[in-house]
Amino acid sequence: MIASSIPNFTRALTALSGILDKGAASAQARKIDPLVLTSARLSPDMFALARQVQISCDVAKNGFSRLAGIDAPKFEDTETTFEELQARIAKTVAFLNAVPADSLKGSEDKVVTFPAGPERTLKMKGDAYLNQWMVPNLYFHIVTAYNILRHNGVDVGKMDYLKGADLLP
Amino acid sequence: MIASSIPNFTRALTALSGILDKGAASAQARKIDPLVLTSARLSPDMFALARQVQISCDVAKNGFSRLAGIDAPKFEDTETTFEELQARIAKTVAFLNAVPADSLKGSEDKVVTFPAGPERTLKMKGDAYLNQWMVPNLYFHIVTAYNILRHNGVDVGKMDYLKGADLLP
């Protein structure tokens, strides 16, 4: 059951990749240094776009590695360019696609322990961790990345965000 | 299975209610007309805060009414104040809590038809509609509401957004 949620994460991260492509194209078209966009933020005490993308990836990567009880690759958080951010998303999607479904069996009832900020450790049951922590966190950082770009004049729309949804003919 | 996702929606909408409370308190403390905040937006072509809250409610209300095959109350989209927005959230949560679990049985495989914008109708299978449409849309509008307030100097944080998550002791 938890394994069936992985495609929701890869879909959302792939949509984020498309949104970043539009950001990069907009910077080029408007002759703006792309780093102006990747370092933009909505408020002085919020993370910049690059960090929002890094965390979107980590929510998925670290979340499923905890649920599956497997090691996740460690990323160094050094990305600043659109290209580097795209590479991080690609590595994250590849990791998610390689999580063995068997390793997630029974993880609904597993107790997951995870850091929340530098000084605090929290615990949740697996299904609650997925639906009340990982999913809202994933969308928090993806939507904030979207909002940062839109606030900076990039022509992204809701369908870029929902891209990949399984529509019926 | 789909019925078990209702608490995720009520949790998120209740967190949104707490975030709006902080917005109202901040307006009062800073002697700002609260309507300045409820009509704020991140970009001239994005919806203002009040509309983000209205849509957050409708994603949940209309989504579960379609999945359950029951009528949903119709809201008139006239809210402008924090109090009116809070009332809309409360009515939405009450509706969600009253959806009979039986009415959602088998809705994973039901074909759901729904409007996307004024001129388009889309179709999805129930489980995809929930996980690839309703959930990302719900968080899209809640996070954008959060970002609008934070961008306008309201002291909200991630734990306001995740509030209500079932943490273990």
Q: What is the DSSP string of B32-74?
A: --HHHHHT--SSTTS--HHHHHHHHHHHHHHHHHHHHT-----
CA distance A133 to chain B (A): 7
- Cα–Cα distance measured from residue A105 to residue A126, given in angstroms and rounded to the nearest whole number: 11
CA distance A24 to chain B (A): 19
Going by C-alpha positions, the residue among B16, B109, B124, B30 that lies closest to residue B60 is: B16
Q: CA gyration radius for chain A?
A: 16
Instruction: Name the residue facing B136 among A12, A125, A166 (closest C-beta).
Output: A12
The model's confidence at residue A106, banded by pLDDT at 50, 70 and 90, is very high
- What residues of A are in the B interface, CB distance below 8 Å? 5, 8, 11-12, 42-43, 46, 111, 122-125, 128, 131-133, 135-137, 139-140, 143-144, 146-147, 150-151, 153, 158, 161-162, 164-169
Question: Do B39 and B50 touch, CB atoms closer than 8 A?
Answer: yes
Helix %, strand %, coil % of chain A (to 5):
60, 5, 30
- Cα–Cα distance measured from residue B87 to residue B73, given in angstroms and rounded to the nearest whole number: 13
Residue of B nearest to A159 (CA): B116
B51-106 tens-digit pLDDT: 999 999 999 999 999 999 999 999 999 999 999 999 999 999 999 999 999 999 99
Return the pLDDT at B72: 94
Q: What is the ipTM score, two decimals?
A: 0.98
Instruction: Name the residue facing B140 among A132, A135, A161 (closest C-beta).
Output: A161
CA distance B167 to chain A (A): 5
**In chain B, what residues touch A168 (CB-CB under 8 Å)?**
111, 123-125
The model's confidence at residue A114, banded by pLDDT at 50, 70 and 90, is very high
Average pLDDT over residues A115-144: 96
- Cα–Cα distance measured from residue B52 to residue B46, given in angstroms and rounded to the nearest whole number: 9
Q: What's the predicted TM-score (pTM) here?
A: 0.98
B89 token code pair? 């959230």
**In chain B, what residues touch A139 (CB-CB under 8 Å)?**
135-136, 139-140, 143
- Cα–Cα distance measured from residue B159 to residue A69, given in angstroms and rounded to the nearest whole number: 26
A45-66 tens-digit pLDDT: 999 999 999 999 999 999 999 9
Residue of B nearest to A41 (CA): B151
- Cα–Cα distance measured from residue A126 to residue A113, given in angstroms and rounded to the nearest whole number: 10
- What values do phi and psi take at A122, rounded to 5? -120, 165
Residue of B nearest to A153 (CA): B43
A30 token code pair? 């408007």
Q: What is the DSSP string of A22-68?
A: HHHHHHHHTT--HHHHHT--SSTTS--HHHHHHHHHHHHHHHHHHHH
**In chain B, what residues touch A140 (CB-CB under 8 Å)?**
139, 143, 146, 158, 161
pLDDT at B1 over 90: no
